[in-house]
Amino acid sequence: MRRFVADKAKTLINRSRTTCSSSFPPPIITSTSVLQRLTSSSSSSSQSPAVLRFLSTSSDSMSSDYSSTPVTLNNVNPKVLKCEYAVRGEIVNLAQKLQQDLKENPGSHPFDEILYCNIGNPQSLAQQPITFFREVLALCDHPLILDKSETQGLFSADSIERAFQILDQIPGRATGAYSHSQGIKGLRDTIASGIEARDGFPADPNDIFLTDGASPAVHMMMQLLIGSENDGILCPIPQYPLYSASIALHGGTLVPYYLDEETGWGLEVSELENQLKTAKSKGINVRALAVINPGNPTGQVLAEANQREIVEFCKKEGLVLLADEVYQENVYVPEKQFHSFKKVARSMGFGEKDISLVSFQSVSKGFYGECGKRGGYMEVTGFSPEIREQIYKVASVNLCSNISGQILASLVMSPPKVGDESYESFAAEKEGILSSLARRAKTLEDAFSNLEGVTCNKAEGAMYLFPRINLPDKAIKAAEEAKIAPDAFYARHLLNATGIVVVPGSGFGQRPGTWHFRCTILPQEEKIPAIVSRLTEFHKLFMDEFRG
C-alpha cells in the first residue's frame, strides 16, 4: 500500500464537491422566489463551474448554438432549477484554477499547494482504508481464491472466515445478483444485531433498508413525505445542504429552525415550536423534523436530555423524526456520547407504534470513511404496514443497492472482536484514526478561537468546525461592492493568500448578519501546524486591512 500514497490526493480533492453557495434561501423558502431568482439569472449561471468544466473540455460546446435542441431553461423541470447544492461554489472553482496555476507556474502564488479543508472525504486526503474491511470485500469480489493456499499468506484468517460467512448469507453465493430490494437478509440480520448491541433495544432486520450511501435514503423519505409545496420539513440551520436540495427536488418547503450558537449549537425546543407555529400559520403542513447528530456543519453532539425533548416534540406534534446519525462514531470529547434517537425513544417507553422514526447511517463517515463504496442503510420504525409497503415499492424501483456497499455496511456494524486474528491491528487502525482526528479537531479549534473576532464551537463530533467571524464593517462593505457574501469574501481572500479552502457559512445557512465558514478536520496531521500558522498570519493581515 505504500506504493499508493498521497501524491495524487491533490488532483482528487481538486474535484471535491462540497463547497460554497453564495446565497442561502431565507426562512420558509418559497419555491417561487428561488425559482424566479434562478431563472432570471440564467445568463450569469452559464459562468458557473460546471458549465466552465463542460466548456473547457468539450470542444464543440464552445459555441452556444444549441437553438435547435429541445430542452431549455424555460422548459426544464422547475424543481431542478430550484434545487441548490453547495457544490459548485466559486471558492472551489478558484482553488482549481490556482492549483492549475501552481502546476504550470510553480512559485506563482505565495503557497505551494492547495489545502482542501472543504469536504468530508477522508480517503481523498490519504486516510488509509481499514485493512480488515478491504480484505473481506476483495474476497467476496473474487471468491474463487478463497480455497487457494496462497490466500492464507495474503489475507488474515478471520477475513477469510468472515468472507465465507457472508457468502453463506447470500443466496447462491451470488455477489453479482440483484438482492432483495431492502438488501441481503443475512446482512440485515448482522446490522440489526449491531444496532441491538449499540442501543440495548431490539432491532428488526425487516426495518433495515440498505442504500447506496445515506443520500438515496434521505431522498426516499422526502419522496414519501412531500406531495406538494404545502408539505414542509423542519431542518436545522445551518444544515448539510443535501436536505435543502432534496426538499427542492421533491417540490416541498424547507421550514428552518435555527441552532443556538451561544449554547454550542444547541437545539432549543422553543425554537422548534415557534417555527412550527409560523409555518402552520402560512398553511404549511409540516411532516417531519430532520436532526443531524453529531452535527454537520456544526460538529455538536446532542445531550440525551435534549434528545428526549425532541422525541417528545415529534410525538406531540405528529412529526416523523428523520435522524441523520452518519457521524455516530465521530465523537471526540469524553463528556459527550452518541445516543441513537431510537434508543432514546425506546428508553422513554415509546414503542414501534408510538413514534415514526428513521435513522440514517453511512459507511462514508465514522473512522472508516469509505465514501466511494456508497454503502449505508436506514432503519425505519413506526410506520404502518400500508406505508411500509409504499417505502418498499420505492426502494424496489431501483432494484437494490450495490452488494459491496451492503457487505461493508454489515462489517461496519460488526467489526472484528477481541480474540479475532485481525482484532489488534483493526483496533490500532481505528484508534489511530479517531485519536488523530480528535487531536486535529482540538488544534484547529484552539487556533480559530485565538483569532481576533473569531469564536469557535467546541469540536465535539463529526468532521467539521464552523467558526464565526465577526467581520469588520469595512470588509462587509467591500464584499457588498464585490457582490458576494461577506463570508465568501473572507474565504476567497483566505484561499488567495494561503491556499486553504474552506466553505463559507452561507452555503449551509446561518442567522442573518452572522458569518461563518466550515473547515474539515481531515487534512493530514503533519500538515495541521502549517495550516494554523498560515491561517493565523492571514487573519491578522486581513483584520489589519479591514479593521478600518
Phi first, then psi: what are they for 191, rounded to 5°? -65, -45
Per CB under 8 A, contacts with its own copies among 405-464 are: 405
CA dist., res. 74 & res. 540, Å (int): 47
Residues in contact with 2: Cβ distance below 8 Å, sequence separation at least 6, in sequence order: none
Taking the complex as a whole, the smallest distance from the CB of residue 401 to its own copies amounts, in Å, to 7
Residues in contact with 74: Cβ distance below 8 Å, sequence separation at least 6, in sequence order: 39
C-beta closer to its own copies: residue 209 or 489: 209
**Nearest Cα to 323, choosing from 298, 286, 288?**
288
Per CB under 8 A, contacts with its own copies among 463-482 are: none
Residue 356 interacts with its own copies (CB under 8 A)?
Answer: yes
Residue 105 interacts with its own copies (CB under 8 A)?
Answer: no
Residue 45 interacts with its own copies (CB under 8 A)?
Answer: yes
CA dist., res. 20 & res. 488, Å (int): 8
Residue 106 interacts with its own copies (CB under 8 A)?
Answer: no
CA dist., res. 441 & res. 294, Å (int): 14
Per CB under 8 A, contacts with its own copies among 210-249 are: 212-213, 215-216, 219, 223-227, 231, 242, 245-246, 249
C-beta closer to its own copies: residue 132 or 489: 132
**Cβ atoms 8, 77 nearer than 8 A:** no
Residue 370 interacts with its own copies (CB under 8 A)?
Answer: yes
Residue 16 interacts with its own copies (CB under 8 A)?
Answer: yes
Among 30, 151, 414, 455, binds its own copies (CB under 8 A): 151
Residue 354 interacts with its own copies (CB under 8 A)?
Answer: yes
> Per-residue DSSP letters for 427-452?
HHHHHHHHHHHHHHHHHHHHHHHTST
Taking the complex as a whole, the smallest distance from the CB of residue 247 to its own copies amounts, in Å, to 11
By CB under 8 A, which span of 388-396, 486-494, 514-522, 525-533 interacts with its own copies?
388-396
* One character per residue 157-196, x = contact with its own copies (rule: CB under 8 A): ----------x--xxxxxxxxxxxx---------------
Among 29, 34, 87, 479, binds its own copies (CB under 8 A): 87
Residue 96 interacts with its own copies (CB under 8 A)?
Answer: no
> Per-residue DSSP letters for 131-176?
HHHHHHHHHHH-GGGGG-HHHHHHS-HHHHHHHHHHHHHSGGG-TT
C-beta closer to its own copies: residue 21 or 457: 21
Residue 275 interacts with its own copies (CB under 8 A)?
Answer: no
Among 262, 335, 386, 544, binds its own copies (CB under 8 A): 386
C-beta closer to its own copies: residue 35 or 532: 35
Among 104, 397, 512, 526, binds its own copies (CB under 8 A): 397
Residues in contact with 404: Cβ distance below 8 Å, sequence separation at least 6, in sequence order: 137, 140, 141, 175, 373, 375
Among 30, 79, 264, 312, binds its own copies (CB under 8 A): 79
By CB under 8 A, which span of 268-276, 349-357, 448-456, 488-496 interacts with its own copies?
349-357
CA dist., res. 25 & res. 86, Å (int): 12
> Would you call 290 exposed, middle or buried from its count of C-beta atoms within 10 A (0-12, 13-18, 19+)?
buried
CA dist., res. 304 & res. 311, Å (int): 11
Residue 548 interacts with its own copies (CB under 8 A)?
Answer: no
Amino acid (1-letter code) at residue 124: S
Residue 287 interacts with its own copies (CB under 8 A)?
Answer: yes
> In this structure, how many other beta carbons lie within 10 angstroms of the beta carbon of residue 524?
14
Residue indicated by cell numbers 498560515: 534
Taking the complex as a whole, the smallest distance from the CB of residue 343 to its own copies amounts, in Å, to 17
Residue 55 interacts with its own copies (CB under 8 A)?
Answer: yes
CA dist., res. 298 & res. 503, Å (int): 12
Per CB under 8 A, contacts with its own copies among 318-347 are: 318-320
